[in-house]
Amino acid sequence: MQKKAVGILLALFFLLQGTWAIEIKKVEPAFWWAGMKNTELQIMIYGQDIANSDISITSGTAKIKEIVRLENKNYLLLYLDVANAKPEVFDIVLTQGKKKKSIAYEIKERTTDPAERIGFNAGDVLYLIMPDRFSNGDTDNDVIKGMRETKVDRGNPSARHGGDFKGLSNHLDYITDLGATAVWLNPVLENDMEHGSYHGYATTDYYNVDRRFGTNEEFIQLIEKAHGKGLKVVMDMIFNHCGSSHFFFTDYPSSDWFNFPDKYIQTSYKTSAQYDKYVSKKDSDKAIDGWFVESMPDLNQRNRHVKKYLIQNSIWWIEYAKLDGIRQDTHPYADFDAMSDWCKEVLNEYPDFNIVGETWLGNNVGISYWQKDSKLSYPKNSYLPSVMDFPLMDIMVSAFDEETTDWGQGFSKVHDYLTQDIVYPDPMNLLIFLDNHDTSRFNKNEKDAKNSSRYKQALAFLLTTRGIAELYYGSEILMYADKANGDGGLRADFPGGWIGDPTNAFTASERTKEQNEIFEYTKKLLNWRKGNQVIAKGTLKHFVPVNGVYIYERSYNGKTVVVILNGSNQEKTLETKDFREILVGKKKDIISDTQIDLEANTLVINARGAYILE
């Protein structure tokens, strides 16, 4: 009898303990490192009614600096002074009367030197991949029970298709063989959204990758493997907004965590408001604080806790995953000063790192405003090292079709645009591209894809002019797509990425003759470009296009590369004496592997032809 009574009492005790226990759902970041330059660590603790807890830590080296209780009782922000923190595991202890909860927290030892995070630069070619659409290496993770999007459907361009880290890992050799030196992955963080989760731009967890791609550990392994093959990895981040299924949105920490929290206002997408001298408050608020779309609520980076959370998040990923760069989504849609602080903090921890902001504006004046040290933004400074050259993309999309005239068409547009590089503080740190996941592919339709000289010439230019080149996956096998047919189609599956695909374009023998021609051409130029200091660091000198021909020289340390492009549908004969400033001696044409005598009086260039001479 007595034994039974004790048992009942014990059961009752555990039951009550359970009822009374302090329940913690999230601790972010889950761990940190000793010896970081920024000495303040924000730890966000999320759990039912925890805000009234008393809080203490058992660390001998980290000190509590500030405890912040937000409007929402489910959040506690603990700010620690980690200036003298040593690697250790300590307890964060929450107590509410007799209730007590200990959270083990680790300050880790740093395993790499921050100087090893050297970023990407003009010596690199970034191969942009949408992870859901490249290769499915593990069908077991296609659907994860409990996540909101409940199926894969390759027949639906807007559904998940099942690509993952395993698939990427299986094909890293394909990317290095092609000659790219870096991969930029569209977002990999969790997107537990009901629809459209495949593209990854509605983050629902800033500290965990989407389980349909794999685990955080598998992401780290993928990056280690890529590094082992000499490939850098650029991570896509989104600080302007999160997904509406994020716990920040389903359980607001405070009424100022988001912009326009009460009534949905969509951004005007007119981010010129950031630098428009004449902007009205209404237009500025709408552009910067309006939401990107209804499923992507706009984070208020002016709230110091939000800003700190986001800054720490990217530092955590750089340190944890040993990233080589960040691509920041919708950069001009967020608060200028907060994004500036973010860049400053990241570059303070990793001085040689690189960040490129998605500055999708229609002109170089607007884009240059966003580049670090811009005179146009002075006395403000974005501290954003790299910006995206969207106007050059717009020009390239038509320039390679047009008959070059002395004014306004074809390469005259290219030349004229480059003459305006004075607006950019650092033109070599512009990301340049023919297309990306949000635009029509450069080869928009079958007709374009069949016009190999157009794409070959565009590649010859892209890979030899100033800037960091980006190639969108599948361009090398002539994948084509028109944005008019929807975004999903711009992100088609790479053929052969799925078991049972009718053809496997990862393998030369299964590519068409035309695909192999472009693949081999791309491979030749990329491998020539790899490690080429003249392209990575060289100055640029160009000539006004004459008779449809555009000529320029890259030069570095006594070495030169001369590029000659025929922007016309007719064969042209160049009078070499007009270009003696750069046309001297005999040079090897990289494209045809032949010697070209520049001392001869004339040089014939095929219609839409290109020479890359060194």
What is the chain's length?
Answer: 614
8 A C-beta contact, residue 12 and residue 38: no
For 561, the 3-state DSSP assignment is: strand
Query: Minimum Å distance from CB 182 to Ca ion?
Result: 24
Residue 189 contacts by C-beta under 8 Å, 6 or more apart in sequence?
200, 203, 204, 205, 206, 208, 209, 210
CB 115 within 8 A of CB 148: no
In the complex with Ca ion, which residue's Cβ is closer, 333 or 498?
Answer: 498
Rounded-to-integer distance, Cα 166 and Cα 30, Å: 25
In the complex, the smallest distance separating the C-beta of residue 141 from Ca ion, rounded to whole angstroms, is: 5
Q: How far is the CB of 166 from Ca ion (least distance, A)?
A: 7
For 150, residues 6+ apart whose C-beta sits below 8 A from its C-beta are 143
Per annotation, catalytic residue among 190, 205, 324, 329: 329
Q: Considering the complex, state which of residue 160 and residue 608 has its C-beta at the smaller distance from Ca ion.
A: 160
Q: State residue 258 phi and psi, 5-degree precision.
A: -120, 155
Taking residue 58's Cβ as centre, other Cβ atoms within 10 Å add up to: 14
Nearer to Ca ion by Cβ, of 214 and 290: the residue is 214
Longest dimension (CA), the chain: 114
- Nearer residue to Ca ion within complex by CB, 136 or 522: 136
Is 329 part of the annotated catalytic residue set?
A: yes
For Ca ion, the binding residues (CB under 5 A) are 136, 138, 141-142, 162, 164
Calculate the alpha carbon distances from 191 to 188, 295, 297, 306, 477 in Å. Answer: 8, 11, 14, 19, 29
Among residues 210, 236, 358, 435, which one is catalytic? 358
Q: Find out whether the peptide bond into 495 is cis, omega within 30 degrees of 0.
A: no
Residue 132 or 329: the one with the smaller Cβ distance to Ca ion is: 132
Query: What's the closest the beta carbon of residue 216 comes to Ca ion, in angstroms?
Result: 16
The Cα–Cα gap between 294 and 4 comes to: 58
Q: Which is nearer to Ca ion, 152 or 596 (CB)?
A: 152
Whether 218 is catalytic: no
Shortest distance (Å) from residue 142 CB to Ca ion: 4
The residues pairing with 101 across neighbouring beta strands, listed in sequence order, are 94
Nearer to Ca ion, 214 or 410 (CB): 214
- Angle between helix axes 336-349 and 304-321 (nearest 10 degrees) is 30
CA distance 243 to 372: 29
169 vs 204, beta carbon nearer Ca ion? 169
Cβ of residue 192: shortest distance to Ca ion, in angstroms?
A: 16
Burial of 300 (0-12, 13-18, 19+ CB in 10 A): buried
Strands 468-472 and 430-433: parallel
- Nearer to Ca ion by Cβ, of 113 and 140: the residue is 140
The CA distances from residue 474 to 157, 442, 497, 552, in Å, are 16, 11, 11, 29
Contacts of 596 (CB under 8 A, 6+ apart): 586, 587, 588, 589, 603, 611, 613
Q: Given the complex with Ca ion, which of 135 and 475 has the nearer CB atom?
A: 135
Q: How far apart are CA 10 and CA 5, in angstroms?
A: 9
Contact 504, 135 (CB under 8 A): no
CA pair distance 118, 120, nearest whole angstrom: 7
Residue 96, classified by CB atoms within 10 Å of its CB into exposed (0-12), middle (13-18) or buried (19+), is middle
In whole angstroms, the minimum distance from the beta carbon of 154 to Ca ion comes to 11
Q: What are phi and psi of 509, to 5 degrees?
A: -65, -20
Active site residues: 329, 358
